[in-house]
Chains A and B, each alone.
Chain A
Amino acid sequence: GQNIDQPTEMTATEGAIVQINCTYQTSGFNGLFWYQQHAGEAPTFLSYNVLDGLEEKGRFSSFLSRSKGYSYLLLKELQMKDSASYLCAVRDLSAGNNRKLIWGLGTSLAVNP
């Protein structure tokens, strides 16, 4: 089957570091995406991992371990504008086509002053 798990809510302080975890179970893994979604807005692409390791992009980094079915999104030097929902999505070849993503429910991050 297909399953993606991520925490429902997280809280952090401005200037701090926060790590949002995502675990997945798929039979045809072919890449993992992180999206940011502010309230009332559309999801925007943050990062993509298909090989094991860390991908760094400014204040945001994403890590993948395929053997563990695990990824995390690391946000450094948190700003108030980082308060949003963070969605983990996995591309699964067994779903029938390499363009179909399986989406998690999202992690709502609140950054407090």
Chain B
Amino acid sequence: EAGVVQSPRYKIIEKKQPVAFWCNPISGHNTLYWYRQNLGQGPELLIRYENEEAVDDSQLPKDRFSAERLKGVDSTLKIQPAELGDSAVYLCASSSGQLNIQYFGAGTRLSVL
């Protein structure tokens, strides 16, 4: 069974440029999460989807960040424009069932120069 797939693995951009990340969750997982993780820190939730509905986006910086999950499967996270402080690893996870164990993708490491 395929795990959570994310692309790209690495992205280097200049500040003020836009960037987008893509995530394909585990098949059948209704819940999808986007996290940001800085070095030496735990994951920080940005947004959580139940199917196609964003049910928790309280931590998403809405002035520059946006996300979508059309058709309740794949999801994209966009930053426009990127700032130096956005450099981090962006992780996507998915879960389902009563225990809701979250399974993570390999992440996208973003460097903003």
Contacts and interface: CB of A to CB of B under 8 A. Distances in A.
B105 A42 contact: yes
A106 B100 CA distance: 20
B58 to A, nearest CB: 9
On chain B, which size bracket covers the interface?
A: 20 to 34
Contacts of B109: 40
A98 B107 contact: no
Given A45-B101, A99-B31, A105 B106 contact: no
Contact of B40 (A97, A100, A106): A106
Given A42-B91, A45-B101, A48-B101, A100 B106 contact: no
Contacts of B41: 105-106
A45 B45 CA distance: 17
Contact of A100 (B4, B48, B101, B104): B48
Interface in B21-72: 31, 40-45, 48, 50, 55-56
B102 interface: yes
Interface in A1-58: 31, 33, 40-45, 48
Contacts of A75: none
Contact of A103 (B31, B42, B56, B99): B42
Interface string B75-113: 000000000000000010001000111111111010000
On chain A, which size bracket covers the interface?
A: 20 to 34
A101 B56 CA distance: 12
A96 interface: yes
Contacts of A42: 4, 91, 104-107
A109 interface: no
Contacts of A96: 56
Contacts of A97: 48, 55-56
Nearest to A103: B42
Contacts of B42: 87, 89, 103-106
Given A31-B99, A40-B109, 13 more contacts: A33-B101, A33-B102, A41-B106, A42-B91, A48-B101, A96-B56, A99-B48, A99-B95, A100-B45, A100-B48, A100-B56, A101-B102, A104-B42
